[in-house]
Amino acid sequence: MNHQQIAKKLEESLEIENDLMRNYLQVAEKIHDNETLKDRLQNFAEGNAKRTQQLKDELKTLKH
């Protein structure tokens, strides 16, 4: 794979991570009767946020 192909795959992964993060947060906001599940979903979203930042950093490195 060349740098352009790698960057494209990372950008696709970045989009997926962002979608998952939004989905987890939206579902968590609608949960009112299960604090444990709500907390776990929020933790999933935080994990996605960290991976999103890592992907952004990798993309920045590839483009320089």
Q: What is the pLDDT of residues 3-58, one digit of tens each?
A: 999 999 999 999 999 999 999 999 999 999 999 999 999 999 999 999 999 999 99
The pLDDT, as a whole number, for residue 7 is 94
Domain boundaries, given as residue ranges, for the chain:
3-62
Cα–Cα distances in Å, from 58 out to 3, 13, 15, 24, 61?
A: 11, 12, 14, 24, 5
SS3 of 56, please? helix
pTM, rounded to two decimals: 0.85
Largest CA distance in the chain: 49
Helices vs. strands in the chain: H and E counts, helices first: 2, 0
